[in-house]
Structure 1
């Protein structure tokens, strides 16, 4: 847990100190058709498609199957990933699987077109069966992971949901405006084996940004790091820039960069050193006094690129 003496003060308010560290529903797709025969057929087509999709579900892992699809001599199928897990025995009838491919089912799968599993999040796309998985891995409507660092939070959702989640469940500090002036104080900066994680959410330009500030051990050297993440996709994050400044005793260090999308995990951003980093000796120099207490003032600004 963070030191009881750790404090990360906003000049206007006090942020939080944080301890460190399918089912897919088939929908009827198509334009409106006035032909009564066509309209009568549509429910049957949907039912057939749903049945085929059930056949394409692996009985072991329950995921959709992709070539090669294996079958036993009795016609029971399973995916290639699960075949070694069942020791080459059919999980349904226990017969030996051998190396029989279910080519008919593979061809039927190739003829299917299905909605994205993130349809409920707003994706209206329809994709061929064998392209659907790749699309879903890149779909811009797929939910985001909670950006709260150090808690192993498993909550996922769209940005408005996560903003409410951060505020209500993690009690993070919420700020309006594109500038900030924070102060980080630690009475014993030599104790950094238990990292201090802090998060503040900023609302500006109709978007949300997460400011991280933490202490951690880089090899044998304690360091302090601050960086900004954008609550949205990487393509949108590149429309913004930010600067961070820390200093004292007539000196200062300035960092300017582009906020990283929360698609990139907190750890990935931290380990890429994509932010303002200060080693302990320089941080103590900026703090002044007898170098026994850390007092860092971090100011920053977010702006939109033209």
Structure 2
């Protein structure tokens, strides 16, 4: 059947040596925007040229991500990445011929010669990387955008810190406070209901940086608990320059917590599940509330300071 038919044709397999690369493949990799210059070594001298066409050749036609070895091809020369080879059941998505195990060594060699800018160049990263190192760098690039720290709903917004602060204020209506000390009051009319996590988020502007105070109810195993913790709007190496304390209590008793704020690079769920914060059992929380234990009334006080 000619190319374009609806069934796969069986072809002899080409047995090539498969090289291992220490690289993680991301199906969510963004396209690099215009126009990118690559350095290609030719005759021992670096030559700069536009790579729009080359980058398109290295783009998988199925997932649209950059391809990394092993790059597969069908007998007609159509290429795709190894992840998508499995997804299309070993059948070329372009001409429907059977893929077999043919490697496109020439395209892999071309990729080896490329040096490309980080995809976050427009956000401030001006480093240039060999093709096979670029993706690994981008997974940890300090200029990569942050995820929105709002935990009450799935929010897919990303951006730098100033953008996210405005986003939290305007779109999520989060309370904004200035100062390094706080006195936060939490009231819940029916403290028996914790199945749907009740939570709050407050942003504090302190030392010219922003901190997110989370307070919520959830099930820890079978026990209903309340938890308060702080996250820093920035990277982990900056977060470690600060410490904070939290305190809650009444009737001559109190609980205190002191720790280091976690970066918002760590997801809200990751911090919560690690129990890295002030945890209050419900019975103790109701005791702190006083009265007939039918209403939760907790006052959480705290302080943020900078380590010398």
Scaled by the length of structure 1, what TM-score is found?
0.86
| Residue 93 of structure 1 pairs with residue 95 of structure 2 | yes
Secondary structure of the corresponding residue to residue 84 of structure 2:
coil
Greater share of residues in helix: 1
- Measured in 2, the distance between the counterparts of 1:130 and 1:199 equals 40
Residue 269 of structure 1: how far off its partner (Å): 0.5
- Which residue does 2:32 correspond to in 1? 24
- Which residue does 1:179 correspond to in 2? 181
Secondary structure of the corresponding residue to residue 106 of structure 1:
helix
- Measured in 2, the distance between the counterparts of 1:182 and 1:102 equals 61
Identify which of 174, 190, 193 aligns with 2:192.
190
Runs of 4 or more, structure 1, over 3 Å off, are 26-30
Residue 165 of structure 1: how far off its partner (Å): 0.1
Deviations along 1:200-220, whole A, 9 cap, x unmatched?
Answer: 000011100000001112222
After TM superposition, the structure 1 stretch with the greater mean CA deviation from structure 2, 277-286 or 189-198, is: 189-198
- Measured in 1, the distance between the counterparts of 2:65 and 2:189 equals 52
Secondary structure of the corresponding residue to residue 139 of structure 2:
helix
Alignment of 1:71-90 (within 5 A): 71-90=73-92
Secondary structure of the corresponding residue to residue 199 of structure 1:
strand
Residue 291 of structure 1: how far off its partner (Å): 2.2
Structure 2 regions of 5+ residues with no counterpart? 1-29, 40-44
| Residue 263 of structure 1 pairs with residue 271 of structure 2 | no
Q: Alpha carbons of 1:75 and 1:87: their partners in 2 closer, same or farther (altered >3 Å)?
A: same
| RMSD (CA atoms) | 1.5
| Residue 118 of structure 1 pairs with residue 120 of structure 2 | yes
Q: Judge conservation of contact 2:38–2:114 (CA < 8 Å) in 1.
A: no
- Which residue does 1:70 correspond to in 2? 72
Identify which of 164, 167, 172 aligns with 2:166.
164
After TM superposition, the structure 1 stretch with the greater mean CA deviation from structure 2, 104-113 or 281-290, is: 281-290
Alignment of 1:1-306 (within 5 A): 22-25=30-33, 26-28=35-37, 45-46=49-50, 49-306=51-308
Deviations along 1:184-231, whole A, 9 cap, x unmatched?
Answer: 112221122222110000001110000000111222221110000000
Residue 92 of structure 1: how far off its partner (Å): 1.5
- Measured in 1, the distance between the counterparts of 2:94 and 2:128 equals 32
- Measured in 1, the distance between the counterparts of 2:182 and 2:205 equals 11
Scaled by the length of structure 2, what TM-score is found?
0.85
Highest RCO, 1 vs 2 (Cα 8 Å, sep ≥ 6): 1
Deviations along 1:125-151, whole A, 9 cap, x unmatched?
Answer: 111000001000000000011000121
Secondary structure of the corresponding residue to residue 302 of structure 1:
strand
Q: Judge conservation of contact 2:232–2:239 (CA < 8 Å) in 1.
A: yes
- Measured in 2, the distance between the counterparts of 1:99 and 1:67 equals 13
- Measured in 2, the distance between the counterparts of 1:246 and 1:227 equals 12
Residue 28 of structure 1: how far off its partner (Å): 4.1
Residue 23 of structure 1: how far off its partner (Å): 1.7
Tell me the number of residue pairs that the alignment of Structure 1 and Structure 2 aligns. 272
Structure 1 regions of 5+ residues with no counterpart? 1-21, 31-37
